[in-house]
Amino acid sequence: MEVSKDKIQQRQAVTFRKSLFSSITKWLERQFLEFLGLLTMIRYHRRYSFQLIKTQALTLFTNSLIFPITKITLGVEKSHSVCQSFLKTHSPTSLVTIPLPPPLKSNITMRGIDFGLYSEIYLKNGYSQELLAEGMNIIDIGANVGVYTVLAAEKVGKNGRVVAVEPEPKNYKQLLGNIKLNNFQNVISKNIAMTNHEGTEKLYLFSSLASHSLIFPEDKNSYIEVPVKTIDKLLEELDIKKIDIIKIDAEGAEIPILKGAEKALRANPNMKMFIASYHYPSEVKEVRQFLDARGFKTKVSAGYVVITI
């Protein structure tokens, strides 16, 4: 039976309205979390410098006002460029040591300009820190300077383990510094990249230390060769069978990384996963389809992180 054009158009209109409503809802939720983060910093103002509080306020202003306007007028790519340039101009570039919010006791040293990573994990709780518990095994892929690693290492304690994977040398050096700063003995650090095979790959370098990627170049001539490995091979080498949480933020390489973890996924059907899926338009859909096909139930956070439930 043929479906009339009117019915097709009605269905398309309903789908469009649902999609628009979902996008607006997620955007509002994200701005609300940014605002709560700012309030948290003001509440604990003795733990944060004025410059960092100012950075968080500028981030809220940029995401809630500058980005929506420039996205409509300039398009997504140019909008991101404008926003990054604005934040880079007004954010501290030097290394700062920031205490984690109470009741956490650890510290993290990072560039002030990359404070958004701290805000995402601690002020907006983008990776559900309440799920971390004593004795867990955690895999942090795309560890950067250790913003999530430090949280996980404190939470899992001496009976747990955190495997922190970061391919870029400068980030990796700072990651090691943050592990040493907190005297963690439960972190295994690896200066490699993860994908669906073993060997070497080009890691494209970005001006932002949080954006280095195996997939997307900022400049095709700016790269380094890095060793790559699968999650399954890494876990085999470390003799780790039980995994409680995997966090992946690998600048577009999330699907290849998941494809290299088939054994781990089958062996740990109840583990929690946090997969950053905002690097290209179809990534959320692709990640959810991949995990759904393997029996995991998923949801999407306001920050476009696919979470297993």
Q: Hey, what are 266's tokens?
A: 């089958």
Higher pLDDT, 77 or 266: 266
Report all structural domains of the chain as residue ranges with CATH numbers, in order of start.
5-90 (no CATH), 128-308 (3.40.50.150)
Alpha helices in 239-301 (DSSP H): 254-259, 262-267, 283-292
H helices then E strands: how many in the chain? 11, 12
* Residues whose CB falls within 8 Å of the CB of residue 138, separated by 6 or more in sequence, listed in order: 132, 152, 156, 160, 161, 162, 163, 243, 244, 245, 246, 247
Element spanning 84, H or E: helix 76-90
236-279, pLDDT tens digit by residue? 999 999 999 999 999 999 999 999 999 999 999 999 999 999 99
The span from the CA of 78 to the CA of 71, in Å, is 8
Q: How confident is the model at residue 146 (pLDDT cuts 50, 70, 90)?
A: very high
* The pLDDT value given to residue 16: 67
* Residues whose CB falls within 8 Å of the CB of residue 288, separated by 6 or more in sequence, listed in order: 298, 300, 306
* The pLDDT value given to residue 116: 82
Mean pLDDT of 170-186: 97
Higher pLDDT, 149 or 44: 149
pLDDT at 183 over 80: yes
Which of 170, 248, 177 has the alpha carbon at shortest distance from 205?
Answer: 170
Exposure on the CB side of residue 7, measured as CA atoms within 13 A: 4
The span from the CA of 131 to the CA of 163, in Å, is 17
* The pLDDT value given to residue 7: 66
Most confident of 33-42, 83-92, 127-136: 127-136
For the chain, the farthest-separated pair of C-alpha atoms sits apart, in whole angstroms, at: 69
pLDDT at 2 over 60: no
3-state secondary structure of 163: strand
